């Protein structure tokens, strides 16, 4: 059974267009790792790589408030991206494509922590459009 642990919830600091601000939303990225990756430092590094690679689509590519894309990534011991898949679509094709592109562009990831015994691990990256704080 896959057990995911929550790492960090960070609202991405992106330059939002006035259209996006009018919609009352902001992008949010959450990262979850398979339970065998117990290093918060590693999880934060992976999160930061994906957050840095994220390019928000224009206002027409933004999903409805509360919608999100979940991208599954499988990483090997060396940090190589073995596979990606969109597990949940947001309803906005441009948003989904941008989420998948961010994960792919972030690769390769750092090598997995030595404490991780599995040959590969699964990470889920949740790209959501949420109410502005």
Alpha carbon distance 36, 28 (integer Å): 25
Q: Return the pLDDT at 39.
A: 93
Helix (H) or strand (E) holding 121: strand 120-131
Examine the pLDDT at 17 and tell me if it is beyond 80: no
Q: Return the pLDDT at 74.
A: 98
β-sheet bridge partners, residue 123: 33, 73
Q: Return the pLDDT at 105.
A: 98
Which pLDDT band holds residue 43 (cuts at 50, 70, 90)? very high
User: Distance of CA 31 to CAs 21, 59, 60, 133, Å?
Assistant: 24, 24, 25, 20
Alpha carbon distance 69, 125 (integer Å): 8
**Which of 131 and 19 is assigned the larger pLDDT?**
131
Q: Which of 128, 75, 77 is nearest to 99 (CA)?
A: 128
Q: Tell me the two tokens of residue 60.
A: 């027409």
Over residues 22-32, the mean pLDDT reads 84
Helix (H) or strand (E) holding 31: strand 25-34
* Per-residue model confidence as pLDDT tens digits over 48-106: 999 999 999 998 999 999 999 999 999 999 999 999 999 999 999 999 999 999 999 99
Q: Return the pLDDT at 110.
A: 97
User: Distance of CA 98 to CAs 5, 34, 49, 114, Å?
Assistant: 24, 23, 14, 31
Alpha carbon distance 118, 102 (integer Å): 25
Examine the pLDDT at 10 and tell me if it is beyond 90: no
């Amino acid at each position: 059974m896959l057990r995911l642990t929550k790492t960090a919830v960070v609202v991405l600091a992106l330059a939002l267009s006035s259209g996006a601000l009018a919609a009352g939303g902001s992008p949010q990225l959450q990262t979850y790792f398979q339970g065998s990756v117990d290093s918060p430092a590693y999880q934060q590094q992976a999160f930061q790589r994906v957050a840095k690679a994220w390019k928000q689509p224009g206002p027409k590519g933004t999903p409805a408030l509360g919608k999100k894309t979940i991208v599954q990534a499988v990483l090997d011991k060396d940090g190589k991206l073995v596979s990606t898949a969109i597990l949940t679509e947001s309803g906005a094709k441009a948003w989904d494509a941008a989420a998948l592109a961010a994960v792919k562009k972030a690769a390769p990831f750092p090598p997995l922590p030595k404490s991780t015994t599995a040959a590969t691990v699964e990470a889920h990256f949740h790209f959501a459009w949420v109410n502005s704080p």
